[in-house]
C-alpha cells in the first residue's frame, strides 16, 4: 500500500476577511434604573476594498440633585429672596448606524459613508420654592416641570478622495447634514401652597438643522520643509420656533419663528522647516470670511446681515536648550456662540426668571502665547491668553413685552453677552514618571484673571481669586493582565468669569479591567465614579446672585468588549463640517 499526506498552509493578511468588535456596558446611577449601551462594528476586507458597518444603542438615565439653590434678586424697584431645592431626572434613547465602503492602493484612497442617528428624550424636574418679596411673609410653591421630545432623525452622508505623488498629497472632503424637525413639549405645574391655587403653563420649541461643506487639503515638501495649504466652504441653514402659553403665563411672551443662514469661506497656509538639527520653526495663518443672516418671520423682523473677516496667525519655535526641550508658540482661534444662544426666544425658567438669546452676539476670539519646557518626566507650561468678546451670562430687569416701558417687579431676564477684553495667566506643572508597574501623572494647574470687570448689584468686582486644580492619574499594570486605573481631581476656590467656586471640590474615578483569552481579545472592566464632595458655587450678575449646592451622584459601570481579527478601518475622511 502507498500512503501520502499533503498539507497546505495559508497565511491570511492581518485584518483581511471579516473583523469586528462587540461591546456592551451596563450603567447604574444612584436612585435611577439601570441604563446601558450595545455596540457592534464589522469590517470586511478583500484586497484593496473595505466594507464596514457600525451600530450602537445607548439608553442614558441621569439625575441632578440640588439640595439648596438660593437666589437673591434686586432691580431698581424691587428686591426678593428665593430658596429652592430640586431633583431632575433625564432620559435619552439613541440609535446610531454607520455604513460605508473604502478603497486604498499605493497612490490613492477614496471612501463614502452614511450615518443615521435616531433619538428621543424626556425629563422631569420637581422643586420646592420658598419666596420672600421685599419684607413680606414667605410664600411656598411646589412646582413640577416635564418635557418630552419625540423621535427625531439625523442624516449625514460624507465622502473623501486622496491622491499621492511622491512627496505630495491632496485630499478633498464633502459632507452633508440634515435633521428632521425636533419639537420639545414642556408642561409646568405651579402650585401655591399658601393660597392653594395652581396653574399649568405649556410651551413648545424646536429646531431643524441643515448644512453642507467641502474642504481641500494639500501638503508636500518645499525647500526642504513641509508646506500645508487648503481651503473650505460651509453652508448652514437652521430653523427655530417657539410657541408660548397665551393664557396662564403672567406675561404674554412673543412666539418665535426664525431662520439662520451662514456661509463661511476659509483659506489656510502653514509651513514648517528645520533650522539645523535641533531647531524647528512653524508659521501659518487662517483667513476666515463669514456671512451671517438672521430672519424672524413671526415678529416680521427685517433680515439682519453680518459680515466679518478675521485672520488667525500661528507661530511655533521648538528647540533644545541645555538638554531641556523648549517650545514657544503663539496661536489664535475663534469660538462662535451656539445657535440657541443667538435665538431671541423667551424661555420660562421659573416664576421669577426668564431666559432669552441675542442674534447680535459676536464670536469670541482669543490669542494665546505658551512656553513649554520639558526634561524627562517633568514638564512646565506658562501661558498668557487675551480674550476678546468672551461669552458670559448677564441679567437684566424684565420689561413687559406688550408695554416696553413697564418694568416687571421681582423678575429678571437672563441672557448671554460679550464681555470687555481681559487677560488670563496660566501655569501648569506635569510630573509623569514610570515606576515599573505604576504610571502616575500629577498635574497642577493655576490660572488668574486680569483686567476683567464684573458688575454685581451696586459694586464692581475687579479682583478675582485665582483657581488651582490638582489632578493625580494612576495606572497600575498588575499580574494576570489586570489593569487598575485611579484618577482624582481636587479643585480649590477661585473665579471663572462670573462663576466662583466657594468651596473646594474633590472628584474620584476608579476602574479595574482584565484581558482574557490567548490573544487578549476579550476585555471586562468595572468602574465607579462621582464619589466626591458636593459642588458649591455662586453665579453673580448685575441684578442677581445665585448660590448653588449640587450633589454629584455616584455611578457604577460594567463593560464587556470582544474584538476578533482586529484591524484598523482605512476610512480617512476628515469631514468638512467640523
Read off the C-alpha cell for 430: 506635569
Site of grid cell 438615565: 61
- Contact present, 423 and 384 (Cβ < 8 Å): yes
pLDDT in tens, the chain (578 residues): 566 666 666 555 666 889 999 999 888 887 788 888 899 999 999 989 999 999 999 998 888 888 888 889 888 888 889 898 989 999 999 999 999 999 999 999 999 999 999 999 999 999 898 888 888 888 998 999 999 999 999 999 999 999 999 999 999 999 999 999 999 999 999 898 888 888 898 989 999 999 999 999 999 999 999 999 999 999 999 998 988 887 766 667 788 888 889 999 999 999 999 988 889 999 999 999 999 888 887 665 566 788 999 999 999 999 999 899 999 999 999 988 887 788 777 887 777 888 888 888 889 999 999 999 999 999 999 999 999 999 888 888 888 777 778 888 888 888 888 988 999 999 999 999 998 899 999 999 999 999 998 888 888 999 999 999 999 999 999 999 999 999 999 998 898 888 899 989 998 999 999 999 988 999 999 999 876 678 889 989 888 898 888 887 888 999 999 998 877 778 999 998 87
Measured on CA atoms in the order 8, 9, 12, 17, is the torsion positive or negative?
positive
Backbone angles phi, psi at 107, to 5 degrees: -110, -15
- Contact present, 415 and 340 (Cβ < 8 Å): no
Smallest Cα–Cα separation from 296: which of 248, 251, 341, 345? 345
| Amino acid 137: pLDDT | 86
Concatenate the DSSP letters of all residues of 419-486 into one string. PPPEEEEEEEEEE---BTTEEEEEEEEEEEEES--EEETTEEE-----EEEEEEEEEEEETTTEEEEE
Q: Is 506 left (phi over 0), alpha (psi -120 to 50) or beta?
A: beta
Q: SS3 of 530, please? A: coil
| Amino acid 351: pLDDT | 79
- Contact present, 145 and 185 (Cβ < 8 Å): no
270 to 218, 282, 284: CA distances (angstroms): 11, 7, 4
- Measure CA 311 to chain center: 25
| Amino acid 134: pLDDT | 85
Which residues, at least 6 apart from 239, have a Cβ–Cβ distance to it below 8 Å?
181, 207, 208, 258, 259, 260
Smallest Cα–Cα separation from 425: which of 455, 453, 443, 445? 445
| Amino acid 7: pLDDT | 65
Beta bridge partners of 535: 550
Q: SS3 of 302, please? A: strand
| Distance of alpha carbon 160 from alpha carbon 573, whole angstroms | 5
pTM of the model: 0.88
Taken in order of first residue, the domains within the chain and their CATH numbers are: 106-526 (2.40.170)
| Distance of alpha carbon 259 from alpha carbon 482, whole angstroms | 54
Smallest Cα–Cα separation from 315: which of 276, 278, 269, 277? 269
- Contact present, 240 and 261 (Cβ < 8 Å): no
87 to 65, 138, 486: CA distances (angstroms): 5, 22, 29
| Amino acid 408: pLDDT | 83
Characterize the bridge pairing of strands 407-418 and 353-355. parallel
| Distance of alpha carbon 246 from alpha carbon 254, whole angstroms | 9
53-56 contact pairs (CB < 8 A, 24+)? 53/97, 53/98, 53/99, 53/100, 54/96, 54/97, 54/98, 54/99, 55/95, 55/96, 55/97, 55/98, 56/95, 56/96
| Amino acid 345: pLDDT | 79
Read off the C-alpha cell for 96: 446610531
Q: SS3 of 271, please? A: strand
- Contact present, 335 and 390 (Cβ < 8 Å): no
| Amino acid 15: pLDDT | 64
Amino acid at each position: 500500500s502507498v500512503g501520502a499526506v499533503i498539507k497546505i498552509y495559508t497565511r491570511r493578511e492581518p485584518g483581511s476577511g471579516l473583523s469586528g468588535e462587540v461591546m456592551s456596558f451596563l450603567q447604574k446611577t444612584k436612585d435611577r434604573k439601570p441604563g446601558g449601551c450595545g455596540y457592534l462594528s464589522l469590517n470586511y476586507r478583500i484586497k484593496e476594498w473595505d466594507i464596514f458597518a457600525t451600530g450602537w444603542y445607548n439608553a442614558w438615565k441621569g439625575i441632578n440633585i440640588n439640595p439648596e439653590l438660593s437666589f437673591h434678586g434686586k432691580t431698581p424697584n424691587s428686591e426678593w429672596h428665593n430658596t429652592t431645592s430640586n431633583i431632575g431626572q433625564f432620559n435619552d434613547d439613541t440609535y446610531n448606524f454607520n455604513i460605508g465602503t473604502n478603497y486604498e492602493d499605493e497612490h490613492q484612497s477614496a471612501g463614502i459613508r452614511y450615518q443615521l442617528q435616531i433619538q428621543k428624550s424626556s425629563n422631569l424636574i420637581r422643586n420646592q420654592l420658598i419666596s420672600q418679596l421685599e419684607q413680606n411673609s414667605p410664600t411656598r410653591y411646589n412646582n413640577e416641570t416635564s418635557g418630552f421630545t419625540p423621535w427625531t432623525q439625523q442624516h449625514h452622508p460624507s465622502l473623501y478622495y486622496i491622491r499621492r505623488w511622491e512627496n505630495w498629497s491632496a485630499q478633498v472632503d464633502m459632507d452633508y447634514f440634515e435633521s428632521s424637525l425636533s419639537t420639545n413639549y414642556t408642561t409646568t405645574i405651579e402650585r401655591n401652597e399658601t393660597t392653594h391655587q395652581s396653574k399649568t403653563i405649556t410651551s413648545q420649541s424646536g429646531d431643524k438643522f441643515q448644512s453642507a461643506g467641502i474642504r481641500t487639503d494639500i501638503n508636500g515638501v518645499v525647500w526642504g520643509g513641509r508646506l500645508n495649504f487648503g481651503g473650505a466652504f460651509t453652508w448652514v441653514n437652521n430653523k427655530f420656533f417657539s410657541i408660548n402659553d397665551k393664557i396662564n403665563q403672567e406675561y404674554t411672551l412673543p412666539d418665535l419663528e426664525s431662520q439662520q443662514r451662514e456661509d463661511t469661506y476659509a483659506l489656510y497656509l502653514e509651513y514648517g522647516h528645520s533650522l539645523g538639527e535641533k531647531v524647528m520653526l512653524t508659521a501659518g495663518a487662517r483667513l476666515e470670511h463669514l456671512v451671517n443672516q438672521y430672519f424672524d418671520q413671526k415678529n416680521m423682523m427685517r433680515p439682519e446681515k453680518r459680515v466679518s473677516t478675521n485672520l488667525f496667525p500661528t507661530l511655533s519655535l521648538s528647540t533644545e536648550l541645555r538638554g531641556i526641550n523648549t517650545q514657544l508658540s503663539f496661536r489664535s482661534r475663534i469660538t462662535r456662540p451656539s445657535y440657541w444662544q443667538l435665538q431671541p426666544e423667551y424661555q420660562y425658567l421659573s416664576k421669577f426668571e426668564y431666559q432669552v438669546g441675542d442674534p447680535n452676539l459676536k464670536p469670541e476670539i482669543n490669542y494665546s502665547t505658551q512656553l513649554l519646557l520639558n526634561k524627562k518626566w517633568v514638564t512646565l507650561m506658562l501661558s498668557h491668553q487675551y480674550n476678546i468678546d468672551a461669552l458670559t451670562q448677564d441679567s437684566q430687569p424684565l420689561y413687559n413685552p406688550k408695554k416696553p416701558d413697564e418694568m416687571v417687579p421681582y423678575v429678571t431676564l437672563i441672557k448671554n453677552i460679550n464681555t470687555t477684553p481681559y487677560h488670563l495667566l496660566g501655569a501648569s506643572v506635569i510630573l509623569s514618571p514610570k515606576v515599573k508597574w505604576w504610571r502616575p501623572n500629577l498635574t497642577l494647574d493655576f490660572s488668574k484673571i486680569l483686567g476683567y470687570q464684573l458688575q454685581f448689584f451696586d459694586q464692581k468686582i475687579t479682583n478675582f481669586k485665582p483657581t488651582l486644580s490638582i489632578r493625580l492619574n494612576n495606572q497600575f499594570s498588575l499580574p494576570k493582565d489586570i489593569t487598575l486605573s485611579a484618577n482624582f481631581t481636587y479643585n480649590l476656590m477661585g473665579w471663572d468669569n462670573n462663576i466662583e467656586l466657594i468651596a473646594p471640590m474633590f472628584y474620584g474615578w476608579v476602574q479595574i479591567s482584565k484581558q482574557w483569552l490567548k490573544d487578549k481579545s476579550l476585555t471586562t472592566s468595572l468602574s465607579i465614579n462621582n464619589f466626591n464632595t458636593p459642588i458649591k458655587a455662586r453665579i453673580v450678575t448685575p441684578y442677581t446672585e445665585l448660590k448653588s449646592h449640587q450633589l454629584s451622584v455616584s455611578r457604577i459601570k460594567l463593560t464587556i468588549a470582544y474584538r476578533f481579527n482586529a484591524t484598523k478601518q482605512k476610512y480617512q475622511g476628515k469631514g468638512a463640517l467640523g
